């Protein structure tokens, strides 16, 4: 049995979350997230972001959250801008296009959008023969583990507001981003500086679940209709409430993030010390060492991790991911083996 650094959704739930599910198992609750746990979890999140006017909706998965929100907000001719590596552009099987909307991709810089490139794109789309850009989508942390600074976020939001665009933040790994060493954003910032964002649970200690927070209250209208239509109203929605309530109790959200980032940092440091190249210098729970064939084969025997991209016949970018479930001893073992490479 290999030790897995494959991703952050390989195990069940953080024990204290699973414990709550077990405790409440025989309780009767109302369906479709109309229950008390969802209300309490919403309250905890709204307190945390200090924005009582925002609204929280609980989803099962990230792809579903992305296309449901985008489809709810855009009119048929409107498009969403994201950078080339954006998850909706690449890894969601055209789910946004399947709801009728073009995803316009702009060049990515360390996995992030650039206002300059967005502006070129906006200026290029001028009349009714072209789609109308109406939303900017970013992910934080990004698909390659980088994070947005507070200044970047504010600048982007200001640009969006000046140009009549919505800003939407995919936070599938927001918990890791917000607890990263060099991070200067807080959940409160995401309440202030975007129209909507979601807090990923699936990759952050829940069995499943994403909490979409809609700050721009105009975008809230009839939202649950669209959720139901897209298959996104979970019958036993209270399971989402129970889990998010626990995640936002006792700092668990932050503690999980800190743990996964610490584990990742140790591993990354070991790679650096060993002189192994990094595709990117990460502060979050995904790290990207570049191996030669021999290094790859050696580690691959004992550990599960993924090939990100083959640069050429000699060099392979790989990805190691840590999570709430990553054990110190497994990290220690890995570091020993890195030292022996």
63 part of the interface to a copy of itself, by CB under 8 A: yes
**Contacts of residue 83, Cβ cutoff 8 Å, sequence gap at least 6:** 89, 105, 106, 107, 108, 109, 111, 112, 113, 114, 117, 138
Return the number of the residue (9 or 197) whose C-beta is nearest a copy of itself: 9
Return the number of the residue (39 or 274) whose C-beta is nearest a copy of itself: 39
Listed ranges 44-52, 69-77, 109-117, 264-272: which one lies at the site for a copy of itself (CB under 8 A): 69-77
Which tokens is 280 given?
């990117």
CA 10/CA 133 separation, integer angstroms: 36
Nearest 10 degrees: CA dihedral of 292, 297, 302, 307? 60
> How many residues are listed for the chain in this entry?
341
Mapping DSSP onto H, E and C, the string for 214-247 reads ECCHHHHCCHHHHHHHCCCCCCCCHHHHHHHHHH
Residue list 301-320, contact with a copy of itself (CB under 8 A): 304
Please report which helix (H) or strand (E) contains residue 144, including its range.
none
Residue list 24-43, contact with a copy of itself (CB under 8 A): 24-31
**Angle at CA 141, nearest 5°, toward 135 and 142?**
65
Name the H helices within 142-280: 150-162, 174-178, 187-192, 223-229, 238-247, 252-273
CB atoms within 10 A of CB 274: 14
Return the number of the residue (228 or 273) whose C-beta is nearest a copy of itself: 228
Return the number of the residue (78 or 183) whose C-beta is nearest a copy of itself: 78
Between 159 and 198, how does the x/- string for binding to a copy of itself read (CB under 8 A)? ----------------------------------------
12 part of the interface to a copy of itself, by CB under 8 A: yes
Return the number of the residue (50 or 221) whose C-beta is nearest a copy of itself: 221
Return the number of the residue (21 or 51) whose C-beta is nearest a copy of itself: 21
Listed ranges 75-83, 139-147, 156-164, 290-298: which one lies at the site for a copy of itself (CB under 8 A): 75-83
Task: Categorise residue 100: left if φ over 0, alpha if ψ from -120 to 50, beta otherwise.
Answer: left
Listed ranges 1-9, 37-45, 246-254, 310-318: which one lies at the site for a copy of itself (CB under 8 A): 1-9
108 part of the interface to a copy of itself, by CB under 8 A: no
Residue list 123-162, contact with a copy of itself (CB under 8 A): 128-132
Return the number of the residue (283 or 323) whose C-beta is nearest a copy of itself: 323
Residue pointed to by tokens 């296009």: 97
Q: How far is CA 87 from the centre of its chain?
A: 9
226 part of the interface to a copy of itself, by CB under 8 A: yes
284 part of the interface to a copy of itself, by CB under 8 A: no
Listed ranges 8-16, 40-48, 261-269, 313-321: which one lies at the site for a copy of itself (CB under 8 A): 8-16
């Amino acid at each position: 049995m290999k030790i897995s650094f494959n991703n952050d959704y390989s195990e069940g739930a953080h024990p204290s979350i699973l414990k709550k599910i077990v405790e409440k198992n025989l309780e009767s609750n109302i369906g479709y997230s109309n229950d008390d746990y969802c209300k309490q979890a919403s309250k905890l999140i709204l307190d945390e972001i200090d924005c009582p006017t925002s609204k929280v909706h609980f989803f099962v998965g990230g792809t579903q959250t992305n296309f449901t929100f985008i489809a709810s907000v855009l009119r048929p001719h409107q498009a969403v801008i994201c950078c080339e590596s954006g998850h909706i552009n690449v890894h969601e099987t055209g789910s946004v296009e399947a709801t009728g909307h073009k995803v316009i991709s702009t060049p990515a810089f360390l996995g992030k959008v650039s206002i300059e490139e967005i502006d070129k794109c906006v200026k290029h789309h001028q009349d009714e023969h072209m789609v109308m850009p109406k939303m900017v989508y970013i992910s934080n942390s990004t698909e390659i583990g980088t994070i947005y600074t507070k200044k970047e976020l504010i600048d982007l939001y200001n640009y969006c507001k000046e140009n009549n665009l919505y800003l939407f933040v995919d936070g599938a790994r927001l918990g890791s981003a917000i607890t990263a060493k060099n991070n200067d954003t807080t959940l409160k910032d995401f309440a202030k500086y975007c129209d909507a964002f979601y807090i990923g649970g699936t990759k952050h200690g829940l069995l499943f679940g994403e909490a979409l927070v809609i700050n721009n209250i105009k975008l809230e209208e009839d939202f649950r209709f669209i959720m139901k239509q897209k298959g996104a109203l979970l019958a036993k929605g209270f399971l989402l409430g129970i889990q998010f309530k626990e995640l936002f109790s006792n700092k668990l959200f932050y503690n999980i993030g800190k743990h996964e980032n610490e584990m990742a940092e140790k591993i990354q440091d070991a790679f650096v010390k060993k002189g192994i190249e990094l595709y990117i210098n990460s502060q979050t729970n995904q790290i990207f060492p570049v191996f030669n064939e021999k290094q790859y084969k050696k580690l691959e025997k004992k550990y599960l991790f993924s090939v990100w991209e083959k640069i050429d016949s000699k060099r392979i970018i790989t990805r190691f991911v840590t999570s709430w479930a990553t054990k110190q001893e497994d990290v220690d073992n890995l570091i020993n083996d890195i030292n022996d490479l």
